[in-house]
Amino acid sequence: MSHEYIPEIATDRDGNKHEVQGWQDDFYGGKLGFWLFMFTEVLMFGAMFMVLAYYNTLHPEAFIEASASLNRLLGGINTVILLVSALTMGLSLLKMRVGDVKGAKLMIWATILLAIAFLVIKGFEWRAEYNHGIFLMHGEMLPESGMAFGKKLFFGMYFTMTGIHGFHIIIGIGLMIWLLKRINAGKVTPAHHILHWNIALYWDIVHLIWVFVFPYYYMIGAGGVAGGH
């Protein structure tokens, strides 16, 4: 809204005045809406974790074996990258709030670069798995292959969840580029930065989901097959 929004006043029977909350300029409402939207992300991934946990109880050993074969180094680096990117995103929001628009933009760019680095590393991981004959509709994952059911299910969910998570990263990059455009156009300013706030929130949920994805896929087999969970 380019023009200043002036809230209406309602008067009760005793003559007291009450400010009316309009839909315009409702910072709190904008935040509330996006928090609610984040619930839906949590439920979507929650349902997938439930599927994963269900098959884990059916095939505990195959899950550990499959998990042991994942590349923990690359997965770990990716975790660190995402955590740092959450930090840069948070810093960009802090800078925006204190009025440092240029610093905020710089931090958003840093977040975008880290997000791209994450995707590149994820791509290398998937390629290595593909070369080992493990990929959807390919090699060991076909119904006729002899790989254990538990492993097929583990990798099926692995590609599904890391894929959907990666899709969220791509959307996040798009959102951040859009945010930069809005900042440049003067639509997102230190006084009016709800879009920035919500995109930062989105990025938080994306990294938070990874914080759960990483241990469940990479770490349950970290102790080796004979070792503990």
Partner 1 sequence: MSKSYFDETHTAIGHPKSTFMQWMLTVDHKRIGLMYAAVMFTFFFVAVATAFLMRLELFAPGAQFIDGDTFNQAFTLHGVIMIFLFIVPGVPAVLGNIVMPLMIGAKDVSFPRLNWFTFWLYILGCIVALASLFTDAGFADTGWTFYAPYSLTTSTNVIFTLVAAFILGMASILTGLNFLVTIHRLRAPGMTFFKMPLFVWGIYATAWIQLLATPVVGITLILAILEKYFGIGIFDPAKGGDPVLFEHLFWIYSHPAVYLMILPAFGIMSEIIPTFSRREIFGYRTIALSSASIAGIGYLVWGHHLYTSGMADTAKVIFSFLTFFVAIPTGIKFYDWVATMYKGKIILSTPMLWALGTIITFTIGGLTGVTIAMIGVDIHLQDTYYTVAHFHYAMLGGVVFLFFAGLHYWFPLVSGKMYNETHAKIAFYLQFVGFNLLWFPMFIAGYYGMPRRYFDYLPEFQIYHQVSFFGAVIFITGLIYMFVVFFKGWRNGKPSGTNPWNATTLEWHMPSSPPPLENHSKVPYVDFNPYEYHHGEPVVKFDYETMKRID
| Selected binder of partner 1 within 98, 120, 142, 171 (CB under 8 A) | 142
Interaction between residue 150 and partner 1 (CB under 8 A): yes
Listed ranges 42-50, 87-95, 125-133, 189-197: which one lies at the site for partner 1 (CB under 8 A): 42-50
Rule CB under 8 A: is residue 21 a binding residue for partner 1?
Answer: yes
- Is the separation of the CB atoms in 75 and 200 below 8 Å? no
By DSSP bridging, strand 17-19 and strand 9-11 are antiparallel
Residue 133 binds partner 1 (CB under 8 A): no
Question: Would you say 129 and 89 are in contact if contact means Cβ atoms under 8 Å apart?
Answer: no
3-state SS, residue 135: strand
Binding of partner 1 at residue 74 (CB under 8 A)? no
To which H or E segment does residue 137 belong? Answer: none
Residue 194 binds to partner 1 (criterion: CB under 8 A): no
What's phi and psi for 14, nearest 5 deg?
-90, 5
- Rule CB under 8 A: say whether 23 interacts with partner 1: yes
Q: Which of 29, 90, 103, 190 binds partner 1 (CB under 8 A)?
A: 29
Of 159, 161, 173, 152, the closest CA to residue 212 belongs to 161
Q: Which stretch binds partner 1 (CB under 8 A): 33-41, 115-123, 175-183, 187-195?
A: 33-41
Q: What is the DSSP string of 190-203?
A: TTB-HHHHHHHHHH
Query: How far out from the chain centre does Cα 101 lie?
Result: 24
3-state SS class at 11: strand
Considering the rule CB under 8 A, would residue 159 count as an interface residue with partner 1? yes
- Is residue 12 part of the contact set for partner 1 (CB under 8 A)? yes
Nearer to partner 1, 27 or 99 (CB): 27
Q: Which is nearer to partner 1, 10 or 83 (CB)?
A: 10
CB atoms within 10 A of CB 204: 15
- Decide if residue 156 touches partner 1 (CB under 8 A): yes
Give dist(CA 200, CA 150) in Å, integer.
37
Q: How far apart are CA 7 and CA 40, in angstroms?
A: 32
By CB under 8 A, residue 2 contacts partner 1: no
Least separation, in Å, of the C-beta of 77 and partner 1? 26
**Residues at the contact surface with partner 1, assessed by CB under 8 A:** 8, 10-13, 18-23, 26, 28-29, 32-33, 36-37, 39-41, 43-48, 51, 54-55, 59, 136-137, 141-143, 148-150, 152-153, 156-157, 159-160, 164
